[in-house]
Amino acid sequence: MKIYFESIKMHLKSALEYKKSFIIIFISQFLVFFSYYFVILALFSKFDNIKGFTVYEVLLTFSIIQLGFSIDEIFVRGFDRFDDLIITGNFDRLLVRPQSIIMQVLSSKIDIVKSSRIIQGIIILIIALINLNINWDIYKVITLTLMILSSIAIFFAIFVFMASYCFITVQGLEVRSLFTDGGKNMAKYPIGIFKKGFIFIFTFIIPYAFVNYYPLLYLLGRVDNKLYAFSPLVVFLFLIPALLSFKLGMKKYASTGS
């Protein structure tokens, strides 16, 4: 863990070497997702609800997903761009070092510049929370925290899954965008608005619904069952097969050469 924090510091230092470029990219990264929010605001200027969810409820959902995704895109970038490590053969170097492989992959790439996306996510989250009438109690605070943590966990797991897929294919990660961008596009609305088949896939195969739908219902006071409050915990189970498949891939790993 100490190594990881040390490498965060190093990556930050190297990014700050080019100050002007850092500032420009920092600002432009802030704007990249502007179009997503624009769609939501434009639609809600014509309609007042989507299956009973209001604009701030959708913004809350979306900002939680966006926050988790951004955090992973910065701090788990090593898994996100894992094919680079495999193609260049640099993965071999990690294998001979006396440190945990996962820690080393995590430390290999950290994209600090994208942290403006985190700030954006937090701002939207706060705006949404101020405008919603939530009867706060300790359970609801826990629910919200779990939602954010599980959002980080789900994208982490997907990144690791896609990385283990690299062991077999070396390259060819086009499907990745389907799970991350596609999933993100769905999960910006509460999963409950979709048709049954989609809800099933995104509950049991990729558990987005446990991040942004079931706990949301509790948070908004639509259901009283405490099970809903703790439902994001299910997402953490999703990490087990992800890490196992990575371990399995590593066993089968054959280097691409020099």
Partner 1 sequence: MKQYLSVFRIKFINNLQYRAAALAGIFTQVFFGLVFIMVYIAFYESNTGASTPMQLSQLISYLWLNQIFFVIVYIWIKDEELLSMIKNGNVAYELCRPVNFYFKWYFTIYGTRLSSLLLRFLPVLVMALLLPSPYNLSLPASWLSLLLFIVSIFIASLLVTAISMIFHIITFFTLDERGVLTLLMVIGEIFEGGVIPIVFFPKFLQVIAYMLPFRYICDIPFRIYSGNINIAGSLINIGLSIAWLILCFGIGIILSKRALKKAVIQGG
Cα(17)–Cα(10) distance, integer angstroms: 11
Of 149, 153, 163, which Cα lies nearest the Cα of 206? Answer: 153
Cα(68)–Cα(115) distance, integer angstroms: 12
Stretch that binds partner 1, among 93-101, 122-130, 138-146, 167-175 (CB under 8 A): 167-175
x/- map, 178-217, partner 1, by CB under 8 A = x---x--xx--x---xxx--x-------------------
Is residue 24 a contact point for partner 1 (CB under 8 A)? yes
Of 219, 67, 60, which Cα lies nearest the Cα of 151? Answer: 67
Tell me the closest approach of the beta carbon of residue 218 to partner 1, in angstroms: 21
- For residue 6, give the amino acid letter: E
In the list 3, 39, 126, 237, the residue contacting partner 1 (rule: CB under 8 A) is 39
Site for partner 1 in 109-138 (CB under 8 A): none
Q: Where are the beta strands (DSSP E) in 177-256?
A: none
Site for partner 1 in 41-80 (CB under 8 A): 42-43, 45-52
**Buried-state track 129-142, b at ≥16 Cβ within 10 A, e below 16:** beeeeeeeeeebee
Neighbours of 252 (CB within 10 A): 9
Nearer to partner 1, 128 or 191 (CB): 191
Nearer to partner 1, 9 or 222 (CB): 222
Interaction site with partner 1 (CB under 8 A): 21, 24-25, 27-29, 31-32, 34-36, 38-39, 42-43, 45-52, 172, 174-175, 177-178, 182, 185-186, 189, 193-195, 198
